[in-house]
Amino acid sequence: MAAGLGELLERSDSGSVVGLDFDATVAWPVYDWMGVAKAALESVSRYLARDLGPRGVRSNLVSAGPLSTTAARGISGFDALSSAWETGAPLGWDPSDAGPVADACLFLLSPLARGITGEILHVDGGYHAMGAPLRLGGAGRGEDAVGGG
C-alpha cells in the first residue's frame, strides 16, 4: 500500500502510514499465530520508516488495547483476554469504545506528529506498562495491589 501510494504521500503536507497493532513484544494467550503476524507488522513498519523517511513519509503503529471488532470475534477466547484490561489498565479500558484509538491514529496522521516515525504508540489505558494487575483480591480503583493505595 505504501509503495503504491508513495508518490501521493510524498506530495502531502503530512504523508503518513499508520497501522493497527496488538503488542507483539510478549506471547498472549489465545492470540497464537496472530501474535507472530503482528511481530512481522512491527518489523515492516520499522523498515517503512527507514525507506519512506527520506521521502518525507512517516510510518507508525498504534498498539491498541482489545477492541470488540469483527476481527476480535474471530479470536476464540477474546473475551477472556480482554477482561485482563479490567484489572490491569490504570486508566481503565472499554473494549466497545474505539475512540481513543481513532484519536491516536488521527494524531499520527496529522502534522502534529511530523517528527515521529518508526514508533509504536500504545493506546491501551496503560496496560502495557504494568508488571502485574493493579488490583488483587477485590481492591477498589485507586488502591494498588501492594500497600492498598
Count helices and strands in the chain by DSSP H and E runs = 5, 3
DSSP notation for 38-71: HHHHHHHHHHHHHHHGGGT-EEEEEEEPP---HH
- Residues 9, 20, 38, 101: which is the catalytic one? 38
Q: Does 96 participate in catalysis according to the annotation?
A: no
Q: What are the two backbone dihedrals, phi and then psi, of residue 143, each rounded to the nearest 5 degrees?
A: -105, 125
- Residues 22, 31, 78, 127: which is the catalytic one? 31
Q: Please state at what angle helix 33-52 crosses helix 2-11, rounded to 10 degrees.
A: 40
Q: Is the separation of the CB atoms in 142 and 77 below 8 Å?
A: no
Determine which helix (DSSP H) or strand (DSSP E) holds 101, and give its type and residue range.
helix 99-109
Q: Does 31 participate in catalysis according to the annotation?
A: yes
Q: Which residues are catalytic?
A: 31, 38
